[in-house]
């Protein structure tokens, strides 16, 4: 039996479950995308590492030039 209110309560309940399911799927997708970005790390090349060390002042210009020459060989 449908009852006094007709199909309206059943329609509201169906919409509720559909929206809840879509919300859960989107939430799971968002969590997966958040974790995916953290796990992908960019590999630093030897030249980039030398440039960073030189920029930080960890090595002198002569040491940097020597590393650069060695890497270009």
29 and 46 in one domain?
no
Tell me which residue has tokens 């940097």. 64
| Spans of the chain below 50 pLDDT | none
> Which residues constitute the domain of residue 32?
7-40
pLDDT at 3: 66
Domain membership flag for residue 2: no
* Three-point CA angle 49, 50, 51, nearest 5°: 90
Query: Quick check: 50 and 71 in contact, CB under 8 A?
Result: yes
50 and 25 in one domain?
no
56 and 29 in one domain?
no
- pTM value is 0.46
């Amino acid at each position: 039996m449908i009852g006094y209110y007709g199909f309206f309560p059943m329609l509201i309940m169906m919409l509720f479950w559909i929206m809840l399911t879509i919300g859960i799927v989107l939430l799971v997708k968002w969590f997966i995308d958040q974790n995916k970005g953290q796990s992908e790390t960019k590999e630093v090349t030897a030249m980039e590492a030398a440039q960073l060390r030189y920029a930080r002042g960890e090595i002198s210009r002569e040491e940097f030039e020597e590393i650069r020459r060695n890497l270009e060989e």
